[in-house]
Structure 1
């Protein structure tokens, strides 16, 4: 059986294949090459479902999508759903990271709490859909460290670690990240619905 990942982000495709394929034997995980829907939802769940529905409709296959972002306590949970375009519509990861660091540059360490949120969604061509969520708590560093991640990973210090998310190995990150936890929670749903 085939299932499509509703993302054009090659980093996410690689990461999700490493998480999903070992636990879903017999299911081939495909990259999505169709049109990108307008993510006009007001929550991570709404946006994840928008992407999954669009991919399922376009391909005629079951589709998995996620929506994720970083939520900073002193910014009232922002950037949140705007994480990918925090510095503008260009979706420039480096500019997003730099803007966020500048915005909290005078905030003391004990007030730099943040968490990554991820909602993973499954949508079927027949309209059936489910979504699950997970959070990865931590705090923001003052400068980027590491090259093993993308987005805000270089400035995120996960609880329980002395290194940034971008300094964790792919193996560790695929066990403890918000995306890993959300997709781990989605795997039983996929098995239940698709019989994988």
Structure 2
């Protein structure tokens, strides 16, 4: 059985991804390999950050692994907050990040945005990338109490509810992360089949 480290300590995220990749691949968390490091993320693209994280794990812990980076890109703001989504306001306080985003969008009628995830997989000495994105719009205020991050602002195209108004199952079925993970899972199944 192939073992892969997923650069997360989020048990829920791990379960979700494990279900998608199937039984032939056993996923390990950072805690399970003894990694308590603050893994660097200094790139200016999602690809660079995901790659930096997976390279760090591979070089330091010698496991095949994958890491992801994701965020929100708002068209009218030149794709901000982008890689700075989690610390847009200079802090990791999501309420402040949301307030800043809404204030910067004040004069804009263009509310188009997308969530993007990029996964970097390091397997048998090679690196592979998988991307998922979902297009939508940013509302004028928060709606819903579910999800996390910018979910209360983001309504995916073709839907009337924000991510924060959807159930976890509804959101996870269409999210940017789900799309990228499905590509990763399909690749791993083909790889296993050889």
Alignment TM-score > 0.5, same fold: yes
Q: 1:36 deviation in Å?
A: 2.6
Query: What RMSD over aligned residues (CA atoms) do the two structures have, in Å?
Result: 2.0
SS at match of 1:132: strand
Q: Deviations over 1:168-188 (max 9, x none)?
A: 111122210001001111112
Partner of 2:76: 74
Shift of residue 79, structure 1, vs aligned partner: 0.9
Q: Which residue of 1 aligns with 2:157?
A: 159
1:145 maps to: 143
Change in CA separation of 1:56 and 1:193 when aligned onto 2, cut-off 3 Å: farther
Where does residue 191 of structure 1 map in the other structure? 189
Q: TM-score, normalised by structure 1?
A: 0.87
Q: What do the CA deviations read for 1:71-99 (whole angstroms, capped 9, x no partner)? A: 001001111111111111x3222211111
1:150-177 Cα deviation digits (max 9, x unpaired): 1111110111111101111111222100
Aligned runs of 1:42-191 on 2, under 5 Å? 42-88=44-90, 90-108=91-109, 111-124=110-123, 126-191=124-189
Please tell me whether residue 38 in structure 1 is matched to residue 28 in structure 2: no
Q: Distance in 2 between matches of 1:194 and 1:60?
A: 20
Contact 1:52/1:123 (8 A) holds in 2? yes
The offset of 1:29, in angstroms, is 2.2
For 2:15, which of 14, 17, 32 is the aligned residue? Answer: 17
1:25-67 C-alpha deviation (Å, 9 max, x unpaired): 1322222132132212221111111112222333332212111
Q: Is the 8 A contact 1:121 1:186 kept in 2?
A: no
Provide the C-alpha distance between the structure 1 equivalents of 2:180 and 2:82, rounded to a whole number of angstroms. Answer: 16
Secondary structure of the 1:175 match is helix
Counterpart CA distance in 2 for 1:94 and 1:3 is 34
Q: Unpaired segments of 5 or more residues in structure 2?
A: none
Count matched residues. Answer: 189
Per the normalisation by structure 2, the TM-score is 0.87
